């Protein structure tokens, strides 16, 4: 009996050794392994660990334990998280067709299923081209006067309002700029209706999607329907105008003709994409601006260097009597570095979601079909190998360009942000007026971060803004 057992054992060992040799010599015998990591508890996965800790520590501990790629299980989905420049390039650029964008159906319903970020392939490319054209440098350079007047009137209103939530005010500002870029000049009535309904939609976007009368989600769905109707109304009005060749997003969409028959976009394609662009433009830029104000407030030496740069432009414009020009916005080197460093520090889009459309192998690891794939932008931006002393706010680090694929605040590849230049322009213009004509003080020193869903300082950064009079301005410049 013991002889039989021993021979079985020997056979098993022989087969195992043979398999190992075959796997090494002939990769065809080798099935790649899943990445290292823990799938957590049945059903729950590691969802509780992610939401009960600071997300940074969730990612950082796993990255330290498992390396640049690891698996986990969040919100009922098996996921692979990736945190290296190579991995991010692999997913978003080199093999992007193997990873499709993925969003919860409740969110897709609120934005509208034809919005570009839910698609890939030909339809996505067509819409992306339109959006990119409407946000190209050649178009946005003509937006300086509009953005300038929106920024000035926003700051004037904050300065007469006591303590305000910076984030809330920034949302109003970025909404107005986005509307201007989408529709050009819009009548006050349409603008007011758009704003009212958009803010209801926005409130329900991140709530639990319970669709019953009176629920937040239902209110959002209804606001979404109202938004579509308002957009149809604006489209109708535009079609009746004689000058159809406007260079705003709506103009580009109405002039589009696709396919062999030269088909125009449908009503739903137009409204879903307009709501999508509004959505992509507003909260992102508003939360980043909120962080910029906090960083400048907390780093007085950086604030002084920004103020010196902007004061020189202000003086060149005869104490603001001449309008700010596009050329001047392109030469705000110090302010631009502050924006870059704020994007790195705050990393408001910490990661993005994709889903593998087939089994994919990356550096010997299997990413199974149907798994969620999360490139972790924030982990790159806070990696000391790429950004020494990553918790230090130091705009001067951007005197040198970051290493390729280590700094991706606007994403990478086919779905990268088409609004990056407009976002930078509105930030530069707002900062110009803020530091040259206003002062602000943050109320309370809470260091906590809130997620709405982008990270923002606690309470939306309550702050008091006030205008400096001409004399104290001149005095401040002399000292």
Annotated binding site: 417
Closer of 377 and 440 to ligand HEM (Cβ): 377
Q: Is the dihedral of CA 128, 134, 135, 139 positive or negative?
A: positive
Stretch binding ligand HEM (CB under 6 A), from 57-65, 137-145, 157-165, 414-422: 414-422
Residue 347 binds ligand HEM, judged by CB under 6 A: no
Specify binding-site residues for heme. Answer: 417
Residue 285 touching ligand HEM (CB under 6 A): yes
Interaction of residue 431 with ligand HEM, rule CB under 6 A: no
Nearest distance from C-beta of residue 184 to ligand HEM, angstroms: 14
The answer to whether the CB of 193 falls within 8 A of the CB of 234 is no
| One of 69, 280, 296, 306 touching ligand HEM (CB under 6 A) | 280
Per-residue x/- track, 171-210, ligand HEM (CB under 6 A): -------x--x-----------------------------
Cα–Cα–Cα angle for 31, 32, 38, rounded to 5 degrees? 125
Q: Does 415 bind ligand HEM (CB under 6 A)?
A: yes
Q: Confirm or reject binding of residue 135 to ligand HEM (CB under 6 A).
A: yes
3-state helix, strand, coil in the chain (%, to 5): 60, 10, 30
Calculate ∠ Cα 347-353-358, nearest 5°.
145
Binding to ligand HEM by residue 418, rule CB under 6 A? Answer: yes
- Applying CB under 6 A, which part among 25-33, 127-135, 154-162, 392-400 lies near ligand HEM? 127-135
Pick between residue 285 and residue 328 the one whose CB is nearest to ligand HEM.
285
* 348 sits near ligand HEM (criterion: CB under 6 A): yes
Answer yes or no whether residue 423 interacts with ligand HEM by CB under 6 A.
yes
Residue given tokens 């000292």 in the structure block: 479
Residue 288 lies near ligand HEM (rule: CB under 6 A): yes
CA–CA separation, 329 vs 315, rounded Å?
15
The residues with which 263 forms a beta bridge, in sequence order, are 258
Closer of 277 and 461 to ligand HEM (Cβ): 277
Is 220 in contact with 201 (CB distance < 8 Å)? yes
Residue with smaller CB distance to ligand HEM, 164 or 422: 422
Reading the block at residue 167, the tokens are: 């984030």
Considering only residues 89 through 118, tell me which ones interact with ligand HEM, judged by CB under 6 A.
Answer: 116-117
Torsion region of 387: left, alpha or beta (phi above 0 gives left; psi -120 to 50 gives alpha): beta
Among 7, 97, 322, 416, binds ligand HEM (CB under 6 A): 416
DSSP 3-state of 73 = strand
Residue placing its CB nearer to ligand HEM in the complex, 128 or 464: 128
Distance of alpha carbon 196 from alpha carbon 194, whole angstroms: 6
CB of 432 to ligand HEM, least distance (A): 17
94: tokens are: 């080199």
Closer to ligand HEM by Cβ: residue 130 or 314 = 130
Cα three-residue angle 73-78-82, rounded to 5 degrees: 85
In this structure, what DSSP letter does residue 394 have?
A: -
- The interface region with ligand HEM, picked from 165-173, 229-237, 261-269, 344-352 by CB under 6 A, is 344-352
Nearer to ligand HEM, 66 or 103 (CB): 103
Considering beta carbons, is residue 221 or 348 the nearer one to ligand HEM?
Answer: 348
Q: Does 349 bind ligand HEM (CB under 6 A)?
A: yes
Please name which of 428, 453, 410 lies closest in space to residue 132, comparing C-alpha atoms: 410
Residue placing its CB nearer to ligand HEM in the complex, 100 or 458 = 100
Q: Which residues pair with 438 in a beta bridge?
A: 467
- What residues between 351 and 370 interact with ligand HEM by CB under 6 A? 352
Residue 214: CB minimum distance to ligand HEM, A:
32
Residue 251 touches ligand HEM, criterion: CB under 6 A: no
- With CB atoms as reference, the residue minimizing the distance to ligand HEM is 419
Bridge partner residues of 441 (DSSP) = 464
Q: Which is nearer to ligand HEM, 418 or 457 (CB)?
A: 418
For residue 453, cis peptide bond before it (omega within 30 degrees of 0): yes
The CA-atom distances, in angstroms, between 454 and each of 306, 338, 403 are 26, 19, 25
Number of residues that bind ligand HEM (CB under 6 A): 26
Spell out where 8-153 has E strands. Answer: 69-74, 77-82, 99-101
CB 287 within 8 A of CB 167: yes
Query: Using CA atoms, how far apart are residues 141 and 43, in angstroms rounded to an integer?
Result: 51
Alpha-carbon distance of 83 to 62, in angstroms, equals 10
Q: Among 109, 128, 246, 467, which residue sits at the site for ligand HEM (rule: CB under 6 A)? A: 128
Task: Give buried/exposed letters for 262-271 (b at 16+ CB in 10 A, else e).
Answer: eeebeeebbb
Which residues sit at the interface with ligand HEM, rule CB under 6 A?
Answer: 116-117, 128, 131, 135, 178, 181, 277, 280-281, 284-285, 288, 348-349, 352, 409-411, 415-419, 422-423
């Amino acid at each position: 009996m013991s002889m039989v057992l021993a021979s079985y054992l020997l056979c098993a060992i022989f087969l195992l050794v043979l398999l190992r040799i075959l796997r090494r010599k002939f990769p065809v015998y080798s099935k790649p392994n899943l990445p290292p990591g823990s799938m957590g508890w049945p059903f729950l996965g590691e969802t509780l660990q992610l939401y009960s800790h600071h997300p940074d520590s969730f990612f950082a501990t796993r990255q330290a334990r498992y390396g640049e790629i690891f698996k986990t299980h969040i919100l009922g989905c098996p996921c692979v998280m990736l945190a290296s420049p190579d991995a991010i390039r692999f997913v978003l650029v080199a093999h992007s067709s193997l990873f499709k964008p993925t969003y919860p159906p409740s969110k897709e319903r609120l934005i509208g299923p034809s919005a570009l970020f839910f698609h890939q392939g030909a339809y996505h490319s067509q819409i992306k081209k339109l959006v990119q054209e409407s946000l190209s440098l050649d178009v946005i350079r003509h937006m300086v006067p509009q953005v300038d007047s929106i920024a000035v009137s926003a700051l004037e209103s904050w300065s007469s309002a006591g303590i305000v939530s910076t984030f809330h005010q920034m949302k109003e500002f970025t909404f107005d700029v986005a509307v201007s870029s989408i529709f050009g000049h819009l009548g006050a009535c349409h603008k007011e209706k758009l704003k009212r309904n958009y803010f209801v939609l926005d409130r329900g976007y991140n709530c639990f999607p319970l669709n019953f009368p009176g629920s937040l989600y239902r209110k959002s769905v209804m606001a979404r329907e109202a938004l579509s109707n308002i957009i149809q109304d604006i489209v109708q009005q535009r079609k009746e105008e004689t000058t159809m060749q406007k260079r705003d997003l709506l103009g580009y969409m109405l002039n589009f003709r696709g396919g062999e028959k030269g088909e125009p976009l449908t009503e739903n394609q137009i409204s879903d994409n307009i709501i999508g662009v509004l959505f992509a433009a507003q909260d992102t830029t508003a939360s980043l601006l909120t962080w910029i104000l906090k960083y400048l407030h907390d780093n007085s030496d950086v604030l002084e260097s920004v103020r010196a740069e902007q004061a020189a432009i202000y003086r060149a414009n005869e104490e603001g009597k001449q309008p700010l020009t596009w050329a001047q916005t392109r030469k705000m080197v110090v302010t631009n570095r502050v924006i870059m460093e704020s994007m790195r520090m705050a990393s408001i889009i910490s990661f993005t979601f994709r889903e593998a459309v087939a089994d994919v192998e990356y550096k010997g690891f299997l990413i199974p079909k149907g798994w969620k794939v999360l490139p972790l932008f924030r982990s790159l931006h806070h990696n000391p190998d790429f950004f020494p002393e990553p918790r230090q706010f130091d705009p001067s680090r951007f005197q040198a360009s970051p290493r390729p694929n280590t700094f991706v605040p606007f994403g990478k590849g086919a779905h990268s942000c088409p609004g990056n230049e407009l976002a930078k322009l509105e930030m530069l213009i707002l900062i110009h007026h803020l530091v040259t004509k206003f002062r602000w003080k943050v109320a309370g020193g809470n260091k906590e971060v809130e997620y709405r869903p982008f990270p923002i300082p606690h309470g939306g950064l309550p702050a008091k803004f006030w205008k400096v009079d001409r004399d104290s301005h001149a005095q401040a410049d002399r000292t």
